[in-house]
Amino acid sequence: MSSSPTTLDIDLEPADSRRLADLTGPFDENLKHIERRLGVEITYRSNAFRIIGPTHTAEAAADILRDLYVETAVVKGEASEIDPQQVHLAIQEAKVLEQAPADAKKDDPALDKMVHIKTKRGLIKPRNPNQAGYVRAILSHDVNFGVGPAGTGKTYLAVACAVDALERQEVRRILLTRPAVEAGEKLGFLPGDLAQKVDPYLRPLYDALFEMLGFEKVEKLIERNVIEVAPLAYMRGRTLNDAFIILDESQNTTCEQMKMFLTRIGFNSRAVITGDITQVDLPRGQKSGLRHVIEVLKDIDDISFTFFQATDVVRHSVVQRIVQAYDAFEEKNS
């Protein structure tokens, strides 16, 4: 059973309206960030703050507020403003999410929550235990890998989580990307501008967005750069803050591209990397970045890996049998 919420009352001394404004941020944005990350509720009047939530996260939130308030101390007559990056770092340094009791993690409603998003087709939610675990992992980790055969919902559920995070204002934008690699075909010269050339590679991501949000809303969000769909090559040199980032078809990245992508992740961002290591379209002899990264990062606790099997396929039943037949053939001839 989950424990009852704890209520903590703290006073930040000395009371200073300018320092308090810097601490809370514009429209209380810094407090909202702490609330989202730690699963607590924060209210305040002047310098008196009340924190409600699980004991370990409420106490951590109180310590974080005290530490950040110290950082706003006046130095040479000027207050030090607190930005979202400092809040993010303070939460990371507190390591409260790593120290959460096992029972609290298991009973946390946020982790048990299924992603329910209204679309033209109704509600989106996981269809089997492995998909449910995948969604829980995305909710509780900043970097997630979904690896498995086609039709297991890897990309679709990742986009659903991204839409959910955007609508709940946990992130400011969604960025969807995939390597522009031809699937065993030589398409030659493609007419049109650069956007028209890469659109065919990104079409599955557009399709998922259109189904969940509708064509007109997606087009408006793309125009405002709230949603960005771009080839992987466009990621080099960027730092992506306050974003939900999805790398699709990651089995077609090189080792260098995968490292480049993972090092783009900025403050308050979440990344989901999906791929099927049995369908690599890279030139013969070139190692898949997805295969490589599974070996490199497998022992890092803050990163989650969800491996789907043929039994998790949620497309036409014949797709599951096709995947199983290929697996059996490859195992027999390996």
Structure confidence at residue 220 (pLDDT):
93
How far apart CA 252 and CA 258 sit, in angstroms, is 9
Residue 1 lies in a domain: no
Boundary-marking domain end, from 101, 124, 144: 101
Predicted local distance difference test score (pLDDT) of residue 140: 85
The reply to whether 155 and 304 lie within a common domain is yes
pLDDT of residue 315: 66
- Is there a single domain that holds both residue 194 and residue 323? yes
**pLDDT value, residue 117:** 63
Residues 291 and 172 in one domain: yes
Which single residue is written with the structure tokens 């990062």? 297
Closest CA to 91 of 52, 63, 123, 72: 63
Domain containing residue 58: CATH number: 3.30.1370.10
Residues 180, 52 share a domain? no
Domain count, the chain: 2
- The CATH number linked to 285 is 3.40.50.300
Same domain, 183 and 299: yes
- 186 in the same domain as 97: no
Cα separation, 141 vs 139, whole angstroms: 6
**pLDDT value for 290:** 93
Residue 106, in any domain of the structure = no
From CA 104, how far away is CA 102, in angstroms rounded?
5
108 part of a folded domain = no
pLDDT, position 126: 83
Answer yes or no: do 189 and 212 share one domain. Answer: yes
Does 163 lie in the same domain as 76? no
Residue-level pLDDT at 191? 60
Which pLDDT does position 310 carry in this prediction? 78
In a domain, 282, yes or no: yes
Tell me if 159 sits within 8 A of 208, measured CB to CB: yes
Q: Look at residues 146, 155, 156, 177 and name the one whose alpha carbon lies nearest to residue 257.
A: 177
Residue 191, classified by CB atoms within 10 Å of its CB into exposed (0-12), middle (13-18) or buried (19+), is exposed
Strands 143-147 vs 303-307: parallel, antiparallel or unpaired: parallel
Sign of the dihedral defined by the CA atoms of residues 193, 195, 201, 206, in that order: negative
* Residue 118, domain extent: 113-332
- Model pLDDT, residue 207: 86
* Residues in the chain with pLDDT values less than 70: 1-4, 73-80, 95-122, 181-198, 315-317, 320, 334
